[in-house]
Structure 1
Amino acid sequence: MFESADRTRRLLRGRRAEASGRDAEAIAAAALAREGWSVLARRVRTPAGEIDLVAEREALLAFVEVKARPSLAEAAHALGARQRARLVAAAECWLAANPGHGAAGMRFDVLVVAADGSTRRIADAFRLGD
């Protein structure tokens, strides 16, 4: 009986996290659009992992990881080395399937979304090999 209740709690927590993530990604996409970026893709699934947002402005391609946390400070520190490596590999997959983007270069951004809906973009948050 307790195992069933634990499973139900985990399932509900997972559903809340999923909804929160989708909301944060919508807020992030809107923030990018206000800054003149074209969002090319959302929630891209590749064999290497998922990319939250792919955006381009003036031929500069950005792979954007969206982090939602109670505060901007907490969100800014939420991207570890393993996630960076996964994002790089997923970006390589996306580029292979979508040639012709990023003529002016590419970068990895982190867009943090606080619980109050405020956002902060960390442009060029990391580089290959970081």
Structure 2
Amino acid sequence: MGVAMRSGHQPAVPAVPDRTTPGRTLAGRLPVCGLPAGRQTPHNPAARAARGRQAQRQGLAAEGRVAQALAQAGWRIHGRRVRTAAGEVDIVAERDGLLALVEVKSRGDLRKAAEAISPRQQQRLLLAGAILQGENPDWGRRGMRFDAWFVAPEGQLHHVPDAFREMG
């Protein structure tokens, strides 16, 4: 089972291939952002734990912003941080019978956020989607798609609908 990257238009920036799968990238579908990459902290366990807590808070805030944007656009939120045997889905939403499994990434810039959705993670989300549809047969009667939302530190949101899909 492979994953096909969706692209409905020419990217605003050249694509940076994923290191594990040539030609597979979401980063090429983003506008140029121009944000600094952020500071690196020297390795020590306390600093690493603090960075982890900060990243978790930022991730929760980003997911909240995306869930709010989806709700304002008429999507019904079935759940946030929905756990399946295949792993966690950040947001599960539905509108007009279309189920969207949403992956939210928040990084120092939008390109880094897009690069964070690896082919392995895409496969995990595909499996999670199959599990959720099996457990909830009333969800997604008109189909299912996988959306990516990228959140930059200043709050800029970028939505890539139908970001990837299973190859037949």
Task: Give the TM-score taking structure 1 as reference length.
Answer: 0.90
Deviations 1:90-115 (A, max 9, x none): 11222222121111111000011111
Aligned to 1:26, which of 64, 71, 74?
64
TM norm structure 2 = 0.70
Of 87, 108, 118, the residue aligned with 1:80 is 118
Question: Gaps (5+ residues) in structure 2?
Answer: 1-42
Q: Which moved more, 1:79-88 or 1:66-75?
A: 66-75
Q: CA RMSD in A?
A: 1.6
Q: What secondary structure is seen at the aligned counterpart in 2 of 1:115?
A: coil
2:80 to 42, 46, 60: 42
Q: Deviation of residue 46 (structure 1)?
A: 1.2
The structure with the greater share of residues assigned to strand is: 1
2:79, 2:91 within 8 Å by CA — same for their partners in 1?
A: yes
Match of 2:137 in 1: 99
1:34-70 CA deviation, whole Å, 9 max, x = no partner? 2111111100111111100000011100000001112
Q: Larger % of helix: which?
A: 1
The structure with higher relative contact order (CA 8 Å, sep 6+) is 2
Match for residue 94 of structure 2? Answer: 56
**Partner-residue secondary structure (3-state), 1:94:** helix
Which runs of structure 1 show a deviation greater than 3 angstroms over 4 or more consecutive aligned residues? none
Equivalent of 2:54, from 16, 38, 44? Answer: 16
Describe the superposition over 1:4-36 as per-residue Cα deviations: whole angstroms up to 9, x where unpaired: x82222211111111111001001101111211
- For structure 1, the residue ranges without an aligned partner over 5 or more in a row are none
Secondary structure of 2:166's counterpart equals: coil
Q: Which moved more, 1:65-74 or 1:27-36?
A: 65-74
